[in-house]
Structure 1
Amino acid sequence: MSRPAPAGATGGVGARVRGLWPYLLIAPTVLGAVALLGYPLVRNLLISVQEYGMGELIRGDAGFAGLANYREVLADPEFWEVVRRTLWWTLLNVVLIMVLGTLVALMLQRLGRAMRLLVTSGLVLAWASPVIATTTVFQWLFASRLGVVNWFLTRLGFASFEGFSWTADGTAAFVVLVLLVVWQSVPFVAITLYAALLTVPAELHESARLDGAGGWRIFRSVTLPILRPVFGLILCLEIIWVFRCFAQIWAITGGGPHDATTTLPVYAYRIAQSLHRYDLGAVVSTLTVLLLLAVLIPYLRQLLRQEAEE
């Protein structure tokens, strides 16, 4: 006849099961994410070290090339020009998005209920609009002959904008794309920061005002330190989103004119699809991920260090 397990042993097993239960609950999601994200990454790395063109794609006999593809890309001056352009594109967009998003969030905090509801609804609609739909609207706004922007500028007395082609000039096309990306990104930043601002105790603002602090000093000394983790998270998300931005650029300019709007995602796509050099396209994609990690990791480490000190 078997003897019952000691009470302490049963309690130990139950405690271990309860400790593992949260991990078991999230395991399906984690495994799904690893499968969906891990396979393309591994496949891309494999292609980047193979001789993989149109012939190899059809025959399925790609040979091993080692690091020769990486050396070919890194030795190309055009690649480094695209890298510089991508960094400038990311910096300009992210700064504008964060500044404008913060200002809109602070404005929402001071608006009345009805006006705040109206502005928030407009932000949600702009945020929820599909990327291609918004891009198409901007193409119409900046059309050379029937565009609203040219019509409005001409009516203001700027005759040089009569029939002006925004996508035929590198600087003008870059400006249009920056306006488009900022327009699409500001609503997310504004709504998220506004929600975070609601968590800041009003007593802290009142105490700062009684001490004679102005609006900028209150934001810098009271609001910003409390919301630093939220700002850090939003900043990282925007860097990732802007850095890998592709659909807007490809739909409006295709990377032109004269490569003036070609960023790393567009560059990788053009190499793979136009030249049928899928191996070089995979190399550029891999280097893009590594460059993005190099940009984000130091900031994330600093953010975590500040959180640990607090």
Structure 2
Amino acid sequence: MTTTPAAPKAPPEAFVRPPQELRTKKSSPFPYALLAPALAVLAILVAWPILKLIVTSFQEYGRAQAFGAPPEWVGLDNYAEVLTSGEFYAVLGRSVAFMIVAVVLTMTLGTLVALLMIRLGKAMRMLVTVGLLLAWAMPALSTVMVWGWMFDTRYGVVNYLLTQITGSDWAGHSWLIEPLSFFLVLGLIVVWMGVPFIAFTMYAGLTQVPAETLEASQLDGANARQRFFQIQVPFVRSIIIVLIVLSVIWDLRVFAQVYALQGIGGLYEKTSTLGVWIYQKGTASGDFGFAAAAAVVMVFIMLLISLYYVRQTLKEDD
């Protein structure tokens, strides 16, 4: 005897959603209302100065305009003057060369300090941390003044120590007159101020590497160098990219250290970086339109660097 299979039961009404509920709900305006004050502050403090800078770059804006005369629109003349100026490319090349050396030294020393902190005991690690925090917390102008005294021509401790060590007379030697020695002192200051941030960030990333993976690779015969480059570096690769991009931007637009060190004894014509050169063009010559155009070009360079960082971040998210 054959039995007819029972028809499937209809789903309960509780599980059947009406078509209205399947539609996408409209987003609430409440989150945008919460963001409105922050967006307003950003618009006032960031967007408006950038907009004013761009407008000024298309104008002839000198001392007369600063005292109330109406500016004249000159189109792309300021940009053409900047991009055809040999002085601009000389300063840009000088700034890029200094940036490359400073970034390499800062990243290398900061990573080495981070690796050292991992191996140190608790007491010594705390001592190193306090020292790094003191170096990081010191204002830029105070740092330049301290290093300026150390390299002082007559009373600096550097000349005294070199005289005692080498036996030669270093008294009266000026470190800031020659461009090469000027950038040597500037590099020491910038690297000294940048190492703590790199060290703390790399230490936070390296401590997250699984200890089991490192122990397994050590049992397999991998030495310290192989463990670092084949395990630890890939694990913190995103952190390294962020640190390199930030260091490139910071060292390319360094201003306070250069300007203060020039006030102690440096030559403006041969030691100015991009930010200081733009400032001097605006204040010394009074050609604010030219300085604004050069600043826009500098901002464009920074945006290109940031664009690379954003693209790398999006790739990792995908």
Cα offset for 1:28? 2.9
Is the Cα–Cα contact under 8 Å of residues 171 and 260 in structure 1 kept in the other structure? no
Is the Cα–Cα contact under 8 Å of residues 245 and 305 in structure 2 kept in the other structure? no
Is the Cα–Cα contact under 8 Å of residues 142 and 166 in structure 1 kept in the other structure? yes
More helix per residue: 1 or 2? Answer: 1
Say whether 1:286 aligns with 2:296: yes
Once the two structures are superposed, residues 216-263 of structure 1 have per-residue CA deviations (whole angstroms, 9 ceiling, x without a partner) of 111111111111111111111111111111000000115942633211
* 1:237 alignment partner, one of 233, 246, 256: 246
Residues in 1 aligned to 2:133 and 2:102: alpha-carbon distance in whole angstroms: 20
Once the two structures are superposed, residues 126-169 of structure 1 have per-residue CA deviations (whole angstroms, 9 ceiling, x without a partner) of 10111111111011000000001111111102525221011111
Q: Secondary structure at the match of 1:301?
A: helix
Q: Secondary structure at the match of 2:149?
A: helix
* 2:277 alignment partner, one of 240, 245, 267: 267
Is the Cα–Cα contact under 8 Å of residues 115 and 203 in structure 2 kept in the other structure? yes
Cα offset for 1:212? 0.9
Once the two structures are superposed, residues 2-21 of structure 1 have per-residue CA deviations (whole angstroms, 9 ceiling, x without a partner) of xxxxx99799898843xx65
* 2:93 alignment partner, one of 76, 79, 84: 84
2:307 corresponds in structure 1 to 297
Residues in 2 aligned to 1:122 and 1:22: alpha-carbon distance in whole angstroms: 42
Q: Secondary structure at the match of 1:168?
A: coil
Residues in 2 aligned to 1:9 and 1:27: alpha-carbon distance in whole angstroms: 31
The root-mean-square deviation of aligned C-alpha atoms, in Å, is 2.4
Cα offset for 1:23? 5.1
Cα offset for 1:34? 3.2
Is the Cα–Cα contact under 8 Å of residues 86 and 243 in structure 1 kept in the other structure? yes
Is the Cα–Cα contact under 8 Å of residues 53 and 292 in structure 2 kept in the other structure? yes
C-alpha distance 109-22 of structure 1, shift in aligned 2 (>3 A): farther
Cα offset for 1:201? 1.3
Cα offset for 1:77? 0.7
Cα offset for 1:24? 4.6
Residues in 1 aligned to 2:127 and 2:72: alpha-carbon distance in whole angstroms: 59
How many pairs were matched up? 301
Gaps of 5+ in 1: 1-6
C-alpha distance 308-46 of structure 1, shift in aligned 2 (>3 A): same
Q: How many percent of aligned residue pairs carry the same amino acid?
A: 38
2:80 corresponds in structure 1 to 71
TM-score (norm 1): 0.90
Residues in 2 aligned to 1:8 and 1:224: alpha-carbon distance in whole angstroms: 52
Once the two structures are superposed, residues 87-123 of structure 1 have per-residue CA deviations (whole angstroms, 9 ceiling, x without a partner) of 1011110111001000000000000000000000100
Gaps of 5+ in 2: 1-17
C-alpha distance 159-121 of structure 1, shift in aligned 2 (>3 A): same
Cα offset for 1:61? 0.4
TM-score (norm 2): 0.88
Q: Which amino acid aligns with 1:264?
A: L
Instruction: Look at both structures and tell me which one has the larger radius of gyration over its CA atoms.
Output: 2
